[in-house]
Amino acid sequence: MTLAIEPLIDYRAIVAELVQEFATTAVERDAQGGTPQYERDRLRQSGLLKLIIPKQYGGWGESWVTTLQLVREFAKVDSSIAHIFSYHHLGVVAPHIFGTLEQRERYYTQTARNNWFWCNGLNPLDRRVTLTPEPDSFQAGEPQRFRLNGTKSFCSGSVDSDLIPVTAVQEGAAGLTIAIVPTQREGVVVHGDWDNIGQRQTDSGSITFNNVLVERDELLIPDADGSVFKTIRACFTQVTFANIYLGIAIGALSAAKEYTQTQTRAWITSGVEKATQDPYILHHYGELWTNLQAATVLTDRATEQAQRIWERGDALTLEERGECAMSIAVAKSFVTKVGLETTSKIFELMGTRSTAAKYGFDRYWRNLRVFTLHDPVDYKIRSIGNWVLNGELPKPDLYS
């Protein structure tokens, strides 16, 4: 009997091809805004939506380290694509983190089989969505059907998505409940009203739920058993952001380097013939590059720690989680600072002509500025200080 050998999938080659393709239209699409429909279709066709799904459920079984490295590659040329691609993976693991074993298997398997694209509707600070039991659906004292009502903001990747994990307030229930809702279900209205200065193709607008039917087995209960593992979603959100921020900054410096080498003119009093020989330009490129190397090391370390706590599963301890959260906070805080400096400083190195709209260099700063406001970096640094001075690791919450 000859065993079938599963062909190896070259993820990096697939992503490299898509990155090159997306880069050719990134400036134009950023100016246009709206839904990157063609690019979403290309992601579907590539098979990359199955990247994090375990092989036993029909996926490719890759690690978070690989997944976030690929997210970072997209962010170098198009952080909107990186944003919606990463939120798909954060969505598809929600049943793994918060659900039962049956829900984990069902959603993984069906996502792999149907090539579903998940979006995000978890925004825990927006508590306008409510979940109400259907009065006539009780069996053995438990409701079997519910109705979802209200509006949720910052629903990244909402347009053209297949599934929406959405947090809702349920009367009598502690904390928030997560409902997994098909985007095309009756009563779901995706508004497509995202109109911010950055991340312009993330479709991070609002969704309204008008008496939407939700079955009991479509509900996930985040704090059902007090497991530390059920608190790790915030860690993966934060380390995902750090990787995207880093990708934006690296992409900005790479674009500036090419422009400086080919377009920037030497200043009249510099005493050199080429801008690439200017001592001040060389100094600043050296500084920016050094800072990005440090940011890369910190982000890689945090990503590897996130993978380790993922593998720990239900054996994960609060201390292990806290140490990982601290590593992520350090990386995210530092890359935020370095990234904002880099995406602004590049204009001084390229010169006035680089501000022409046709180049779109401003998109790096705009995208990073919008994305880094997801939660205040000051509170991350405060948590780091509390750990350094008082030895207190951050407690699990919605953003740590």
| Domains of the chain listed by start with CATH number | 11-114 (1.10.540.10), 130-220 (2.40.110.10), 228-390 (1.20.140.10)
Say how far apart CA 290 and CA 310 lie, in whole Å. Answer: 31
For 46-95, the pLDDT digits (tens) are 999 999 999 999 999 999 999 999 999 999 999 999 999 999 999 999 99
Lowest-pLDDT range of 7-16, 199-208, 367-376, 387-396: 7-16
Closest CA to 232 of 126, 123, 317, 295: 317
Conformation bin of residue 117: beta by default, left when phi > 0, alpha when psi is -120 to 50: beta
Closest CA to 251 of 14, 23, 13, 10: 23
CA angle 87, 93, 96 (to 5 degrees): 160
Tell me the whole-structure pTM to 2 decimals.
0.96
Could you tell me which residues come within 8 angstroms of residue 313 by beta carbon, excluding any fewer than 6 positions away? 229
What is the DSSP-derived secondary structure letter of residue 55?
Answer: G
Q: Residue 216: which pLDDT band, with cuts at 50, 70 and 90?
A: very high
For 227-254, the pLDDT digits (tens) are 999 999 999 999 999 999 999 999 999 9
By the 8 A CB rule, do 157 and 120 touch? yes
By the 8 A CB rule, do 299 and 305 touch? no
By the 8 A CB rule, do 83 and 245 touch? no
Tokens of 207: 């969704």
Tokens of 307: 């993978």
By the 8 A CB rule, do 220 and 200 touch? no
By the 8 A CB rule, do 278 and 267 touch? yes
